[in-house]
């Protein structure tokens, strides 16, 4: 009797977590591109590091760090489905990275510095080999329902 093969689902299993933000670290770096050249150009990089604790663990890990930055050349790439960010590690803490368009980053920056950024929500694909794709993220002063 021939073995029957199960067909893999084309849609990946997704998970979501609410996060209580415990600390915020704003960061701006300034440098010069081609400082010794004939046409030096100032370079500015703004970023936020948000640390928090998830309501449910991912592989027994509750702590999470979001690293967000301004991406002035933000574009949706050719890969489908498209994602807003990535989980780059699971241990010792879950690491989430994402670039933001300047307008959205400015709003996120103002929420963080005014003390209104207290909760996050992240929806992501099931982690495989300690990484995953982030389908959506939300940041606010209240938990997502």
Structure tokens belonging to residue 76? 């949706």
In the prediction, which pLDDT does 124 show? 96
Confidence of residue 23 (pLDDT cuts 50, 70, 90): very high
Q: How many residues does the chain have?
A: 145
Is 8 among the domain residues? Answer: no
Is 1 among the domain residues? Answer: no
The boundaries of the domain holding residue 68 are 17-29+40-73+81-140
What percent of the chain has pLDDT above 90?
66
Q: What values do phi and psi take at 72, rounded to 5?
A: -65, -20
Task: Note the pLDDT tens digit of each residue in 63-96.
Answer: 999 999 998 887 787 777 889 999 999 999 999 9
Q: pTM of the entire structure?
A: 0.83
Is 120:18 a contact under the CB 8 Å cutoff?
Answer: yes
Is 124 among the domain residues? Answer: yes
Count: domains in the chain = 1
């Amino acid at each position: 009797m021939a073995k029957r093969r199960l067909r893999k689902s084309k849609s990946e299993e997704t998970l979501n977590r609410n996060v209580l933000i415990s600390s915020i670290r704003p960061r701006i770096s300034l440098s010069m591109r081609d400082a010794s050249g004939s046409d030096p150009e100032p370079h500015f990089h703004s970023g936020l590091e948000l640390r928090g604790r998830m309501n449910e663990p991912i592989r027994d890990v509750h702590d999470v760090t979001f690293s967000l930055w301004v991406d002035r050349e933000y574009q949706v790439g050719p890969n489908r489905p498209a994602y807003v960010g990535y989980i780059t590690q699971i241990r010792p803490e879950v690491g989430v990275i994402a670039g933001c368009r300047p307008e959205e980053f400015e709003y996120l920056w103002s929420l963080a510095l005014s003390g209104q950024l207290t909760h996050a929500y992240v929806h992501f694909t099931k982690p495989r080999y300690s990484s995953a794709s982030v389908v959506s993220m939300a940041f606010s002063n209240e938990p997502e329902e």
